[in-house]
Amino acid sequence: MAVLITGGAGYIGSHMALALRDAGEACVVLDDLSTGERAAVPDGVPLVVGDVGDAALVLRVLAEHEIDTVAHFAARISAPESVRDPLGYFAANTGKTRDLLAAVVAAKVGRFIFSSTAAVYGLNPPTPTAETAACAPGSPYGVSKLMSEWIVRETSAAHDLACVTLRYFNVAGADPKGRNGQRAAGASNLITVATRAALGLNPGLSIFGANLPTPDGTGVRDYIHVSDLADAHVAALAYLRGGGKTVTLNCGYGWGYSVKEVVAAVRRAAGDFPVREAAARPGDPYVSIADASLIRETLGWRPRHADLDQIVGDALRWEKSLWRPGRKTAGAARPAAMRRRAS
């Protein structure tokens, strides 16, 4: 038995590959390397370079590696980009999820884990947000994921296929042992931007909205450590192999931090860095916090790295380890400590 990880050369999928390898589980990665990197795939895990929409390739991989479960991470992930290219997102995310499922059903693979997002809930969900909340995605990206969820659900109902859909809240941090982390130079998520700013790799941080209707005026998010998220996938795999039924589960902790609280945590870990207040991003929810009770009940999952200082510390250590002379991020100005490392 082995797990196929689509998108396993990307940020989250590669952490799952690491978690499975650490647990002694066989797995194989299928990734077209459009945003992922070969180096993110852990040593000893086979990488097949190709498209999840290539049915012949997928069928071959499913058979050759005796796959019993597919974990489908591969996707395009930028909400602003999806506003400019909705049809591209529906093709890449929704269309290819459909094509992958067709291969999975044809090959009689009985288990599927799908990467969805809190973005399906949209702009003003009740908080904390339970899985039963109405879905009203605020971007084509969110729509592409919600449509994929429906395809997963209907396919599961019609075929011998049990599926766990995981709706991730804000994924952050890096492998606590320093083996892996966010590699995308253009990553725009708060904790990556703030840690890179603290290291002088970009000119500073803009706080998008400082007068929002929240306790300190800045946006609040439920940040989940990427290794806890990988563990949730390992727990979902055990649940499915134990005969668990199709279910949709939030992945978050059930509490949130504001942008200012995240800035304070990064400053505690790395010292001061420039921060300015800017206009709120159109379409940003003010608050996004999971009701995380169902995943605990259903999978028995318990987070191990939920402390914000650990999330920030792991991200920071990873960013430092990535730094090398000539590495480019926006407006890089190298701090003295890093200039010394270069010489």
Ligand X SMILES: NC(=O)c1ccc[n+]([C@@H]2O[C@H](COP(=O)([O-])OP(=O)(O)OC[C@H]3O[C@@H](n4cnc5c(N)ncnc54)[C@H](O)[C@@H]3O)[C@@H](O)[C@H]2O)c1
Ligand Y SMILES: O=c1ccn([C@@H]2O[C@H](COP(=O)(O)OP(=O)(O)O[C@H]3O[C@H](CO)[C@H](O)[C@H](O)[C@H]3O)[C@@H](O)[C@H]2O)c(=O)[nH]1
As annotated, the active-site residues are 141
**Least distance between ligand Y and beta carbon 341 (Å):** 26
Question: In the 8-state DSSP scheme, what is residue 131?
Answer: T
**Least distance between ligand X and beta carbon 53 (Å):** 6
Query: Which of ligand Y, ligand X, none has residue 137 at its interface (CB below 5 to 8 Å by kind)?
Result: none
- State the amino acid at position 118 in one-letter form: A
- 146 interacts with ligand Y by CB under 6 A: no
- 139 interacts with ligand Y by CB under 6 A: no
For residues 124 and 342, which CB has a smaller minimum distance to ligand Y in the complex? 124
- 127 interacts with ligand Y by CB under 6 A: no
Structure tokens at 136: 């009203």
User: Under rule CB under 6 A, which residues in 179-208 are in contact with ligand Y?
Assistant: 188-190, 193, 205-208
Please pick, from the candidates 219, 256, 303, 313, the single residue that binds ligand Y as defined by CB under 6 A: 219
CB 162 within 8 A of CB 112: yes
Query: Which of ligand X, ligand Y, none has residue 74 at its interface (CB below 5 to 8 Å by kind)?
Result: ligand X
Alpha-carbon distance of 286 to 181, in angstroms, equals: 27
**Least distance between ligand X and beta carbon 74 (Å):** 3
Contacting residues toward ligand X, per CB under 6 A: 6-7, 9-13, 30-36, 51-53, 73-75, 77, 92, 96, 115, 117, 168, 170-171, 184
Alpha-carbon distance of 75 to 96, in angstroms, equals: 9
User: Under rule CB under 6 A, which residues in 289-328 are in contact with ligand Y?
Assistant: none
CB 244 within 8 A of CB 164: yes
Please pick, from the candidates 69, 82, 117, 165, the single residue that binds ligand Y as defined by CB under 6 A: 117
What are the strands, taking DSSP E only, across the chain? 2-6, 27-31, 47-49, 67-72, 111-117, 162-168, 170-172, 205-208, 220-221, 223-225, 247-251, 257-258, 275-278, 287-288
Alpha-carbon distance of 192 to 197, in angstroms, equals: 8
For residues 13 and 200, which CB has a smaller minimum distance to ligand X in the complex? 13
- Interaction pattern, residues 221-260, with ligand Y; x per rule: CB under 6 A: x-------------------------------------x-
For residues 69 and 218, which CB has a smaller minimum distance to ligand Y in the complex? 218
**Least distance between ligand Y and beta carbon 133 (Å):** 13
Query: Which of ligand Y, ligand X, none has residue 259 at its interface (CB below 5 to 8 Å by kind)?
Result: ligand Y
Reduced to 3 DSSP states, what percent helix, strand and coil does the chain have, rounded to the nearest 5? 40, 15, 40
For residues 115 and 129, which CB has a smaller minimum distance to ligand X in the complex? 115
What are the strands, taking DSSP E only, across 144-301? 162-168, 170-172, 205-208, 220-221, 223-225, 247-251, 257-258, 275-278, 287-288
**Least distance between ligand X and beta carbon 211 (Å):** 25
Which residue is listed with tokens 């291969």? 103
Alpha-carbon distance of 17 to 14, in angstroms, equals: 5
Query: Which of ligand X, ligand Y, none has residue 230 at its interface (CB below 5 to 8 Å by kind)?
Result: none
Alpha-carbon distance of 326 to 299, in angstroms, equals: 44
- State the amino acid at position 162 in one-letter form: A
Query: In the complex, which residues of this chain contact ligand Y (CB under 6 A)?
Result: 77, 79, 117-119, 169-170, 188-190, 193, 205-209, 219, 221, 259, 281, 284, 288
